[in-house]
């Protein structure tokens, strides 16, 4: 899947494009669907993952199946990172 980084709505100094790509390539990332419909009928997905540098990130993105556009990026909260690590431990 190709990532669209044109006019991203987050600080690319704080979140490097390669870190965003690493989250999408993380084989243990957790993809979630939102539980509520959006007014604009656009489906957004949530992604919890870890970079190669061990940074836990939370992403919100939309995809048409060929391209993905990240609309929000932030560091995971402690609860989210704990959830990710618990799920990762289940695979090991």
The pLDDT tens digits for 16-33 are 999 999 999 999 999 988
What is the reported pTM? 0.84
Question: Does residue 5 contact residue 19 with C-beta atoms inside 8 Å?
Answer: no
The average pLDDT across 35-49 equals 77
Q: What is the pLDDT of residue 91?
A: 83
Mean pLDDT of the chain: 88
User: Is the distance from CB of 70 to CB of 87 less than 8 angstroms?
Assistant: no
Return the pLDDT at 42: 67
């Amino acid at each position: 899947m190709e990532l669209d980084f044109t006019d991203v709505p987050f600080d690319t100094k704080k979140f490097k494009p390669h870190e965003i790509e690493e989250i999408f390539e993380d084989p243990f990332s957790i993809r979630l669907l939102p539980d509520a419909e959006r007014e604009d009928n656009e489906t957004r997905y949530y992604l919890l993952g870890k970079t190669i540098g061990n940074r836990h990130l939370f992403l919100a993105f939309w995809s048409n199946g060929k391209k993905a556009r990240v609309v929000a990026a932030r560091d995971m909260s402690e609860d989210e990172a704990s959830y990710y690590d618990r799920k990762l431990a289940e695979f090991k």
